[in-house]
Structure 1
Amino acid sequence: MSIDNPTVNRWFADKAIDHIDHALGRPIYPLRETYRNHFATDANGARADEFNASPHWTKTGQRDDMAFYSVTQLGRQTLADHIASQPDPWQPFLVTFEGHTSIVPERTRAKAKYAYYLIVSDSWSELTFGTFCKRSTVRRAA
């Protein structure tokens, strides 16, 4: 996973968009480099037919009965536009604690702070959330 393009735990009701998001590894920034860009499916199936007919996909190979696809730039742009249109989109926040800053994708500043606290508290069991809040900052990443 790229530290410059963290992933999020999401899904989309629109399955065509969800497949693009899945192939890219569910990145917060679909237009940036992602740690993955592939989707494997049955070469003779309906999904392969859909991908072959779509400008969002390019076939990158086939082995036996499996076809492999990657998302095109148009597919990335379509995903980015879809994410931007969501009522409560994931956003990148910068959470700083003890001099270390991490990108935390979440929907609000408070959720980002709590998500990062959960990560830190896994290895620092005596750290309370109150202490963490006093010693940390959160801001929206550019």
Structure 2
Amino acid sequence: MPLLASLLLAAGLVFPATALAHDYRLDDVHIAHPFATPAPPGVPHAAAYVDIRVEGGEPAVLVGARSPASETIELHDMTMDDGVMRMRRVERIEVPAGILQTMRPGAGYHLMLFDLVAPLREGERFSLTLEFAERGEIEVEVWVQSAGEGSRDADDHHH
């Protein structure tokens, strides 16, 4: 019986660590730890982030996304220009083969969710469908987390 108890204890120590990260595969495309930041009441939009890696030889091109959590989702790129934040819609996000494309709050690519059905609250989850040119679609589960927590969890997933 002590051996069984030891095995159960060891399993219990492993499972919580794996529960902190979630990932998905679409052929040779690996999507890691999709997360969104909370939206305060009255704010009709929010941002979502995913990490994408292509493990094959051809790049992947993200061309769209949709979710029951919002009416519209756009692909965006944010840059800083002389201390001014500039956000612009992009038609596609190309992920070169062998490169990890990270999306994080505060800079670079992200998904803008417009006309939210309800405010996103920390701790909630919602489904999101990502559309890739040449590869099709994949549904992922997005965790609503603070910007810092979501970024840390995503970063930890890659180590």
TM-score, with structure 2 as normaliser: 0.23
TM-score, with structure 1 as normaliser: 0.25
